[in-house]
Structure 1
């Protein structure tokens, strides 16, 4: 066969365009774009001011989705577009301004500064408008679209002068969350313990506990990345501010399993198998659910499953002696079944099923947490935020049902650098990664951790710029540009940000007053108990 001729990116887009037309999966409007729309709203910056943030061109247009018509932008997350002048200005600052290490007190953060700009105002979340079963699907969707557009206009009018951060503008994503909130008996808000106040929404807490009258459980996930005294301080902080909140510690992480030949003392490579170990959290979560439902739902099958998983991994002990839980994915396990829309549910047991809905920001570990509870990978996961597009339902046991929802970014007042480092904003969408690298280097000893060597002709003798840090990391990792073989600074900066999101470079926040009372939290009973569990 003849060799394929190379073609440009523009020709590749045209090729995909023609292929979609052949398949018949194209918009009804001939001139519509293949790419998901970008929201032209104001991105917070130190020097920018909002320019008509609530105008018609800055809000996503609501679309009617016709059945059978392919729409690639339906579940696509909308991100903000920055001006070229602002990107160039920040790039020059990263090349010229040195990194100044800040005091540890700068890492303390209060939830009032993120979601409560004033004592009487709170950044609200969109709530599903009232509906009836007598309404048609088109009537419900039109009502939701009108409400959501009004919500966006109101929130920009009220907080436009504040530094509103990126938050979710896709109505379809909020619709998925609304369904989960309605169908769940218990709602679990999953947060990353490194940045818990960024992922916890006080408005959602008020809505769930006051209006829906449902219990809310806060999961502090990924506790293996943060010191125990910080976790204990955050636990007391949330319980004091939100008395109706239940707090659970959790950790879930995958491991690659390999069999070892003890006779030859060699590692025998086998096909990699993902096993999700959940060592801390399931028993406490079960106990809270027991206290909530009482005798209405029989949760003995869940307790039996936990004990069975412990025995399979060699953990022995009674119910009160440990809070460990590990899940093994061997062939003897009964696999959870995914619920489909055409599956018949036994009416005699339908009211005796406990539905637990998981909500939270992207990349906080909701899907991994569900995989850890179940014992094997049943929910697709990814390090890229926004991987889960629609809610998915699985049976943990015959009486416990888990519901995973797509990640939602709630409106807040945090700046973009912290959103990137906390995993909310996808790194692939970052056009200027050097400013977040400088923000990270000013809060953790990044140069010492990465063991970087000075570049030639440094601008400062004892200080580094974000650009020099990225350039030194490119030299160490041998990242080179394709044409001139110069250090690929952009790729190196992205690599540093990805390590920060993954936890290999751990930046974590502290509650207010933690630095002053560090000795008290070192001796706190929660710290001692968590160290014993770890």
Structure 2
């Protein structure tokens, strides 16, 4: 036994007790602390977005929101188990999907936004904090009951109360609340109850839907969505932050090139003038100072000119209702329409300005929209949810202020986990089950378009063998992985999981473009809604693998990435096909099958001393190789095996027992030896 440590083991505990002496966690009865003064951890962790929680994490978080100890309130807390459908990796049939969507429409009014409790000047900070937590707990309880009782699947939604507090502040300050959604699936990212909540706060406030990434929609698709939104009485606008920022970047590059040429000319003229002078260093330093001052003056002048030009372009916008119906607006046009739609409300926050609040899911392009409107990068753009931690105010013009809310995930209905992955709600890098999302991509994107975009050949099961002509997830992923050299280490099979991550990221980014149709679109004709995106001419403009025929009559797909022999062999023997090929080669080959039958018939079993002995009486045996193929043993090796068996029989089955060397006796050994 090792010697006991001389260090006092209670020293560390004493230090910890001393450190937290006199400190305790605030309770509901504490009224002297404000919300931001609560000791809930470091300030940077308070606004961390929380959209997914396990049963234990949700249990502990609910107990923390209740403000009581677990031992006192555990009987009032119920762990909501995940619905079986939430973890179902398979896809729904057309009938099941139609029934699920109908159920979503029936219960759409139950998806509410958490309300901030009423308060006035007499409400203390502690009372407001306690009321907010109780209201938030009641809201989460309603959603949990909705999932449990109705069997509905909800997308991950924001579970951090601090993030919802940021939304409450933005709604209270803003006169016009703009919801920014993704044009590929607007209804998924729109919160219907948010419009009602804005009207509850102040009947004078208005709401508007900004459909971003509208460049991904064709004219016919924008017309279909305009018909639906007009029928529902929803105010909307189409916008593309990506195209606007691209144009701004091109203008900056042209201005930078012109400025560089001008500076080079001035520099050359200055060098010529300085030739022959004595104090060159002092003159160069003075010239550098003048150069810096001129740069600042020029930048200030350019900023003032750009602001004046932008204000002039905003005032010059004159678009009718018919023009706004399907038009993808320019930044100046969008600002003009927002100013026209924003009501003038005098309050303590506005100071005579129009306050426009921007709300939306992460990654729908909210910050990019602000950058396009401002014309300079004043808002950080990030692909991860939660890039904007607190609401920000950006002065757009002298009379318009933008109020940016952190990206917030509202609760929304979903059909399957695979659908949430394809819509960008669930992170792809943390994906474990990939066959469902990959199967959706294979359903939605035509097979020939997948082959043309990636230059691969996707082999599908023939119709006479039960195939449908649509690739399965395994067929698509195997073809892509083999063509890109993605193989599993040690096995040599195509790495389908790695291929799935690449394809799904391309789908979410819009390289594999699919747009959802409005609910009024005829059922079963979703592929017709995307027909304009997958004409031969449209795809040929986006890839080099779809080339026009020599006679100009059509297009053909080049499978350059799948024409190599090793790729064909990997696809042919990938997955279960490899096992089937080995079985067929072993059991159906005439020579191997006959040899196995001959070897089985020649074996005879004799009774030995305490065990059955098998003697080989043939000159050749059939063995199985490392990969399952039949292997025939020659006569020499068979004779050697027979001689070994004969020697074992003559030995009489005796075993040489090695006597155990005496050594140190351990505890318990003597007891077991006496038992036997």
Fold agreement, TM-score > 0.5: yes
Verify the 8 A CA contact 2:443 2:471 in the aligned structure 1.
Answer: no
**Any residues of structure 2 matched to 1:43-442 within 5 Å, and which?**
65-66=38-39, 69-70=42-43, 72=45, 74-81=47-54, 114=104, 116-117=106-107, 121-160=109-148, 161-166=150-155, 167-213=157-203, 214-241=205-232, 243=233, 245-253=234-242, 254-255=245-246, 257=250, 305-306=309-310, 319-320=318-319, 325=330, 350-415=350-415, 416-442=417-443
Query: CA 1:194/1:140 → structure 2, altered by over 3 Å: closer, same or farther?
Result: same
Query: CA 1:260/1:438 → structure 2, altered by over 3 Å: closer, same or farther?
Result: same
Work out the CA distance in 1 between the residues paired with 2:448 and 2:314.
Answer: 42
Verify the 8 A CA contact 2:179 2:359 in the aligned structure 1.
Answer: yes
How far has the Cα of 1:349 moved from its partner?
A: 10
Verify the 8 A CA contact 1:223 1:250 in the aligned structure 2.
Answer: yes
Query: CA 1:212/1:471 → structure 2, altered by over 3 Å: closer, same or farther?
Result: farther
Residue deviations 1:201-247, cap 9 Å, x none?
22112222344321001111111101222222222212322x3x421
| Secondary structure, counterpart of 1:359 in structure 2 | strand
| Secondary structure, counterpart of 1:180 in structure 2 | helix
Q: Does 1:502 align with 2:502?
A: no
| Secondary structure, counterpart of 2:486 in structure 1 | coil
| Secondary structure, counterpart of 1:442 in structure 2 | helix
Work out the CA distance in 2 between the residues paired with 1:417 and 1:481.
Answer: 24
User: Could you state the TM-score of these two structures normalised by the residue count of structure 1?
Assistant: 0.61
How far has the Cα of 1:164 moved from its partner?
A: 3.0
Work out the CA distance in 2 between the residues paired with 1:73 and 1:469.
Answer: 43
How far has the Cα of 1:463 moved from its partner?
A: 4.6
Residue deviations 1:431-470, cap 9 Å, x none?
2233111112212215633443246999986553213312
Work out the CA distance in 2 between the residues paired with 1:420 and 1:389.
Answer: 24
Query: CA 1:506/1:479 → structure 2, altered by over 3 Å: closer, same or farther?
Result: same
Work out the CA distance in 2 between the residues paired with 1:485 and 1:133.
Answer: 70
More helix by share: 2
Report the counterpart of residue 41 of structure 1 in structure 2. Answer: none
> CA-atom RMSD, angstroms?
4.6
Verify the 8 A CA contact 2:195 2:207 in the aligned structure 1.
Answer: yes
Work out the CA distance in 2 between the residues paired with 1:348 and 1:418.
Answer: 44
How far has the Cα of 1:194 moved from its partner?
A: 1.1
How far has the Cα of 1:515 moved from its partner?
A: 4.3
Verify the 8 A CA contact 1:192 1:199 in the aligned structure 2.
Answer: yes
| Secondary structure, counterpart of 2:362 in structure 1 | coil
Unaligned runs of 5+ in 1: 1-26, 30-61, 264-300, 312-316, 328-346, 523-534
Work out the CA distance in 2 between the residues paired with 1:221 and 1:157.
Answer: 33
| Secondary structure, counterpart of 2:398 in structure 1 | coil
Work out the CA distance in 1 between the residues paired with 2:514 and 2:99.
Answer: 12
Query: CA 1:464/1:65 → structure 2, altered by over 3 Å: closer, same or farther?
Result: farther
Report the counterpart of residue 472 of structure 2 in structure 1. Answer: 465
Work out the CA distance in 2 between the residues paired with 1:228 and 1:493.
Answer: 31
Residue deviations 1:275-328, cap 9 Å, x none?
xxxxxxxxxxxxxxxxxxxxxxxxxx99955366799xxxxx87459975358x
Work out the CA distance in 2 between the residues paired with 1:229 and 1:456.
Answer: 32
Q: Does 1:514 align with 2:521?
A: yes
Higher RCO (CA 8 Å, separation ≥ 6 residues): 1
Query: CA 1:411/1:162 → structure 2, altered by over 3 Å: closer, same or farther?
Result: farther
Higher Cα Rg, which structure: 2
How far has the Cα of 1:178 moved from its partner?
A: 0.9
Work out the CA distance in 2 between the residues paired with 1:250 and 1:437.
Answer: 30
Work out the CA distance in 1 between the residues paired with 2:437 and 2:213.
Answer: 22
Work out the CA distance in 1 between the residues paired with 2:349 and 2:132.
Answer: 33
Work out the CA distance in 1 between the residues paired with 2:20 and 2:455.
Answer: 56
| Secondary structure, counterpart of 2:355 in structure 1 | strand
Verify the 8 A CA contact 1:108 1:514 in the aligned structure 2.
Answer: no
Query: CA 1:414/1:350 → structure 2, altered by over 3 Å: closer, same or farther?
Result: closer
User: Could you state the TM-score of these two structures normalised by the residue count of structure 2?
Assistant: 0.49
How far has the Cα of 1:195 moved from its partner?
A: 0.6
Report the counterpart of residue 27 of structure 2 in structure 1. Answer: none
Work out the CA distance in 2 between the residues paired with 1:71 and 1:420.
Answer: 28
Verify the 8 A CA contact 2:447 2:471 in the aligned structure 1.
Answer: no
| Secondary structure, counterpart of 1:373 in structure 2 | helix
Verify the 8 A CA contact 1:452 1:469 in the aligned structure 2.
Answer: no
Unaligned runs of 5+ in 2: 1-18, 22-34, 56-80, 258-304, 333-346, 531-676
Query: CA 1:428/1:145 → structure 2, altered by over 3 Å: closer, same or farther?
Result: farther
Query: CA 1:66/1:503 → structure 2, altered by over 3 Å: closer, same or farther?
Result: same
| Secondary structure, counterpart of 2:235 in structure 1 | strand
Residue deviations 1:65-88, cap 9 Å, x none?
42873563642323155999989x
Length, aligned pairs only:
387
Residue deviations 1:12-60, cap 9 Å, x none?
xxxxxxxxxxxxxxx989xxxxxxxxxxxxxxxxxxxxxxxxxxxxxxx
